[in-house]
A and B are shown apart, each in its own frame.
Chain A
Amino acid sequence: MTDDMAAIFREELRDLLESLERGLLDLKARPDDMGLVNQVFRDLHTVKGSGAMFGFTDLAAFIHEFETGFDRIRSGAIPVGAEIVRLALAAKDEIPGLVDGLPDPDGRRPAILAALRGLMTGVAPAVEVEAVMAGSDAATAEGRRLLFRLIGPSLAMGARPEIVLDELRGLGATDIQADITEVPSLDRLDSEQCHIGWTMTVPAEVTEAQVEEVFLFTDAEWTLASHAADDMGARADAVEAVVTEAVIETLAAVPMAAPSAAAKPIASREDRGETPAPQAGATIRVPAERLDALMDAVGELVIVEARLTELARQNRDPALMTTAEQITRLAAGLRDATMTMRMVPLRSLVGRFRRLVLDLSDSLGKPIEFAVLGEDTELDKTVIEKLADPLVHILRNAIDHGMETQDERAASDKGRMGLIELSAQHAGAEVLIRVRDDGRGINPDRIRAKAVAQGMISADAQLTENQIFALIFEPGFSTAEAVTELSGRGVGMDVVRRTIESLRGSIEVESKLGQGTSVTLRLPLTLAIIEGLLIEVAGERYTLPMASVQEIVELPADKVMPKRSGDFLDIRGRFVPFLRLRTLFEGAGEAPAEQNVVIVMSGENRVGIVVDRIIGTNQTVIKQMSKLHAGVRAVSGATILGDGSVALILDVAHLVSMGRVPGEPNPATREVAA
C-alpha cells in the first residue's frame, strides 16, 4: 500500500467524518428517519472498511462496535436515542486521533466503547471470520480420485471450468477426463448450466482445503475419494447451510433494491435542500498545493500577457497585436477556470459550526435553532480556510453573550428556542456572510461609556450607532467583562476584524436592543487576481479594486484648492468626503488643472479619491507586501504592470475610514438613513 493511497484515504476520511457528523446531528433532530440511519451506518461501514484496508486497524476495531450498533438500529432491534448519538459523535471525534496514531492517555476510547456496550446489552458480538484465501490440512493417502461437477446456473454466473481445470492441473492433477453422461439432448440443453463433469487423479498430498480453495468461487459438487468423511459435495453444502442460517438476521437489515427503500435516502436529501453528491467519474481530487501552484502560474501568465500587450502596442505590429489579443483572451479564460477550481462551498465549514452550536447550546442550557442559508455559496479556498476561526468566534459570542437564557426569553415574550442564522450570498464581486441572532442585542450606551472610560473617544464625541458598534473591533476595546454582549473568550473582536481585513474583507455589526444582533462579513470572491482600475498621482501609478469603484467624476473647479475644513463633494444631493492622494502621499509637483475623483465604497460608506489621471482597467495580480511593509495601512498589496513597473494596490476600506472624520456624523450614513 503506497503513501499515496493512504493520503487518498485521509482525504476521503475528511468527507466521511463531515457526512457522519451531519448525519448524526440530523438524526438527533429526526430520530425516526431511517434514511439517516442508513447513511450513518454506511459512513461508519466505509470508515471501518477503508480504514482497515489502509492499515488503520485500531480505527477499524474501534468503529466496528459502532457499526454493529447502527446495524441493529437499522434492523429495528434498538431505537435511536440521544445517548447513542452523543456516543457516536464522541467516537467520531476520536477518529482523527486514531488515524494519526495519537495515544489516548485519558482512556476516552475504552470509556466510549464501554458506554456503547452498556447501551447494547444483549447484543451478540459479531462472528470473526478468517480470510478466505488461506488454509492447509494434512493429508496422507496415495493418489486420490477427484470428481467434480458444476451445479446451478454456474455459467451464467461467470464460472469458468477451464480456469478450475487449470488450477487443478497446478495442484498436479493428471488423467483428466470429461464425464458427458449427463449432457442432455440438444432441445433440453441449458446454456446457463455446465452439463459436463470431470474426473481426475490428484497427488496424495493434495488436501481438501486446497481443493476447496479451487472451488471457492465455483458452485460445484466434488468428491475426493479415499477420504471417508468426504461424501459428494458434503463439505461445500454444509458450509452453505451454516452460512445461510446466519445471514437471515443481517439480510433483514440490508436495504434491498426495492424502490421504496432506494428512494428514501434521496428524498431525505432533498428535504435538507442539498444537492446530491457529484458522480465520482466527473470529479477528481487534486492536492490544494497544486491548485495554489496553478494559480501562481496563471498570475505570472497574466503579468507576462500584460507585458506582451504593451510591447505589441509599442511596436505597432498588427500580427503581434492580434496574437497578444488572443493570448489575453486565453489567459482570461484560464484565469477564470482556475479561480472556479479553487472555489469551495461554505458548506465545508458548516458541519463544524453545527456541532459548535449544538455543544454550546447543550452546555449553556440555551435551546437554539441553527439555520443555515446559502451554504452552497462558494468562496476561494484560502478565504474559506481563514474564515473558520472568525466565524467560530462570532457564533460563540452570539450564543454565549447574545442569546438570553430561557427564563429571560420567556420574560421578554420570545420563544424559548433561540435562533441563530448563518447566511451567505453573492453581492457583486463580494460574498456577504451574516450571523444573525434574535437575542438581547447590544446596548450602544454601554459600549460608549466603556469607550469613554478607556479614553478611546471623548465624552462629547458625536457618534452614530454604527460608529459606536464599530468600536467593538478596536484593539484597545478590551474583552473585559463589562464590554457587553460581544466580548469573547481568548481573542477579541479586533483579531476577528484583522483576519477579515487580511482577506481584503470588512466586518460590520448591526444590533437592535432586545431584538438581536447581526454581524456581516464582506469578503472578496478571490484573493489572487482582481479587476483593477489603474490611476496616476504625481507620476506614480496605483490600482483600485474595480469592485469597490462606484463612479468617476471630475473634480469641480471650486474644490481644486484644498481647504481647511473637511473636503466634501456633492454627488447628486449626497455629501461624499474626498481625499487628495497627492497630499496624502506627499506627491511632488503641481496637480494638473483637471483632476478626477474616483468614488469608492466599502461597506455602506463612500469616499472620493482625487487622482491626476485615470489610466484604465487591468487584470491585477495581487502580490503581498513584504513583512517590512505590513504596517503600511493605506496599501494592501502590489502588482506588476505590463511595462514591468510596480503599482501599489490601495486599501479601499482604510481610505474610506480615513474619509470619515471621527466624532462627526457620517454623511453617507446620514443620507442613507434619511
Chain B
Amino acid sequence: MTKTVLTVDDSPSIRRMIAMTLQEAGYAVIEAVDGQDGLAKALATPVDAIITDQNMPNLDGLGFIRALRQHPQGKGVPIVVLSTDSEEGLKAQAREAGALGWMVKPFTQDKLLAVIKKVLG
C-alpha cells in the first residue's frame, strides 16, 4: 500500500523538492504551508510520516508537533524535523516536543530517501 508523507514547509521550493523526490520513490505526498495548515491536514487525513520545517509563520514546527501529539490520531506518526546548522539546539527540543528525528539542511535527495526509509521501513 502506498505510504503517505506530509511535508510541512513555508518554502515552496523545499516542499516541491521533497514532494518530487518522494513521489518518484513511490510515496504519496501531501503539502502544507505552515504548522497550522499541517495540523489541519494531519488531522484530516491519516499520514504515515511527517517532515516539517521549524521556522514557519503562524505555527512553527515545534508548536505543530506539540499540538499534533495532543490528538490521539497524532500519536505514533513518525515526525522528522528539518533543521539547519545554526539550529543545533533544535534537535533535543524537537525530541522533547515529540519528533522522532531530524534532518539537517542542506540535504540531498538520497539522504531524504534514507531518512524516510529509516522512519517508515
Contacts and interface: CB of A to CB of B under 8 A. Distances in A.
Interface of A: 1, 5, 8-9, 11-12, 39, 41-42, 45-46, 48-50, 52-54, 60, 64, 67-68, 71, 126-129, 131-133, 155-160, 162-163, 166-167, 192, 216-219, 240, 243-244, 246-251, 254-257, 262, 265-266, 279-281, 285
B16 A8 contact: yes
B90 interface: yes
Nearest to A71: B86
Contacts of A279: 33, 37
A34 B97 CA distance: 25
A281 B106 contact: no
A217 B104 contact: no
A257 B60 contact: yes
A126 B85 contact: yes
A53 B13 contact: yes
Contact of A158 (B66, B67, B100): B100
Contact of B88 (A64, A129, A162, A281): A129
Contacts, number: 171
Nearest to B35: A257
A257 B120 CA distance: 28
Contacts of B66: 257
A274 B60 CA distance: 22
A459 to B, nearest CB: 63
Contacts of A157: 69, 76, 78-79, 98-100
A262 B78 CA distance: 25
> Among the interface residues B66, B67, B84, B106, which one has the most CB atoms of the partner chain A within 10 A?
B106
B105 interface: yes
23 contacts: A5-B17, A11-B13, A12-B12, A46-B10, A49-B105, A53-B106, A53-B107, A64-B86, A131-B111, A133-B114, A160-B121, A162-B121, A163-B120, A216-B101, A217-B115, A246-B89, A247-B90, A254-B60, A256-B62, A257-B64, A262-B63, A280-B12, A280-B15
B63 A256 contact: yes
B59 A158 contact: no
B14 interface: yes
Contacts of B6: none
A158 B95 CA distance: 12
Contact of A160 (B64, B75, B119): B119
B58 A266 contact: yes
B13 A129 contact: no
Nearest to B67: A257
Contact of A9 (B13, B49, B59, B114): B13
A287 to B, nearest CB: 14
B79 A247 contact: no
B42 to A, nearest CB: 12
Contacts of A132: 102-104
Contacts of A50: 11, 13-14
A254 B78 contact: no
Contact of B84 (A49, A166, A217, A251): A49
B77 interface: yes
A255 B98 CA distance: 18
